[in-house]
Structures are given as structure tokens and as C-alpha cells.
Amino acid sequence: MSRLQDKVCIITGAASGIGRGTAELFAEHGAALVLVDRNEPGLNEVCALLSGQGAPVVGVCGDVSQAATIQRAVATALERFGRIDVVFNNAGIMPHGDLMAVSEETWDEVMAVNVKAMFLMCQAVIPHMLKQGRGSIINTSSVMATLTEPGYDAYTTSKAAIIGLTKSIAVTYAEQNVRCNCICPGWVDTPLNRALAEEMGGVDKLYPIIKKQQPSGRMASTREIGYVVLFLASDEASAVTGSVVYADGGCSASI
């Protein structure tokens, strides 16, 4: 079943992790893809993989916090495929540091990549979605928007802001059939978390923490998160807008 057949989808942060897993799933379901990331080797790799499998895909390399990158991505989608049906705003960064130690530059970078980039993308694509009479935007927030731990002040603040932006867009454009939702993943098996595990001495050192925080006792796969995004992107979710969907293995339900 092709749940996104002939739909044109922009995915940011597509070179690895949730973005790449979702891109692969979208391609399987018939989407035409514009993939955006600043990691050029990783971006080229996923584009080559999906193109080799017959998917219509094009990559745009750049920093999503810069308006020029967003404009190139939107222009590429329109020139190559003629429309924009779905946007998955997924790119993000997660620096660690106590509030008193976080520099102004780091704070600004987190807000720019995690929040401003989504604002810029939404501002750029919504006019085209309004002309089409429909569109779906999905933003990646985090369970850490509402449940956090020391050392992630900038990250938590940015992810909470994404929920507010999502709800505001959803309410503003609900009557025009432009939907906006966000996902809140918990622990996911991404290169970022694998690197964290290596810093701690291996995955075995990380799993006790995951088991304590996430009742499922394991990290979700990027494909599992991708299926949540796939639903929100598809016409099956036509009544869903302004929602915050937790895909966190029960983390947000636990005490």
C-alpha cells in the first residue's frame, strides 16, 4: 500500500537518525522526496540509496537555520516536482551543558536550528499549501519538552517552543486544510544515542538508564518513529491537527 503516492515531501535532518529512517519509509510509500541536511556525505549516501531503489529524490545541502537553505529546498521541490504536500521538520541539535555554563552562542545556535528553522520552513511552505488547498506539517519535538534532566536547559526550552509553534500553526490554518502536528520521541536508536553509549563505555552501560526512564525497556527504532510520521503525513490523519504525539515507549506516562 502506498500511503504517500505522488505526494511531494520535504524532510530536514534527513542524513541520519529519525530523518533518514522516515525518508526510507516515505520512499517505500510512493513519496517524491526533497531531503535536506548539512551533512553532505550522509545526505549523498541516503539520496543515492533511495534513488537506486527507484524513488524520486533530490538532496539540498545546507544549514536549515539559514533562510537561504530553506528557500533553496522549497524552490527545488517546486521546480523538480511542482508542489509541496508534506514537510517533516526534523533537524535538531542537542548540546549538553549546565545553564550557567552554556554560552550565548550555543543558546542561540540551539534556538536557531531547533526552532527558527521550523518557523522559516513553515513560513515558506504554507502559502503553497494554501494555494493547493491542503498540506501536512510534522515537527519533531521531544519527550524532553515536558520531562527533562539537568544539563539540557537549551534543548528542553527549544523542544517546548516547538509544541507552541505547532499548536499555533494548526489553529491558524485549520479551516484551510493545512494540518500541523508534532511528535515527541523518547529514547531512539540514532547515531547520537549510539555515540552517547560509546562515551559511557558501551550500549550495555546505557540500557539501565533507558530501562529506568522508558517502561518499554529499549530504544525505539527510527523506523518505528517513521511510522508515526507517516500516519500524520497521510490522508488517514485528515482529522488530526494541533496534536502532540508521544512515541516514547511509555516514558511520559511513567513516574
Question: What are 16-54's pLDDT values in tens digits?
Answer: 999 999 999 999 999 999 999 999 999 999 999 999 999
Determine which one of 152, 155, 173, 246 is catalytic.
155
Q: Flag whether pLDDT at 171 surpasses 90.
A: yes
Q: Flag whether pLDDT at 1 surpasses 70.
A: no
Cell numbers for 85, please give them: 504536500
Cell numbers for 80, please give them: 523538480
Whether 227 is catalytic: no
Phi, psi of 96, deg, nearest 5: -110, 140
Confidence bin at 201 (pLDDT 50/70/90): confident
Q: What is the mean pLDDT of residues 208-222?
A: 91
Q: Counting Cβ atoms within 10 Å, is residue 233 exposed (0-12), middle (13-18) or buried (19+)? A: buried
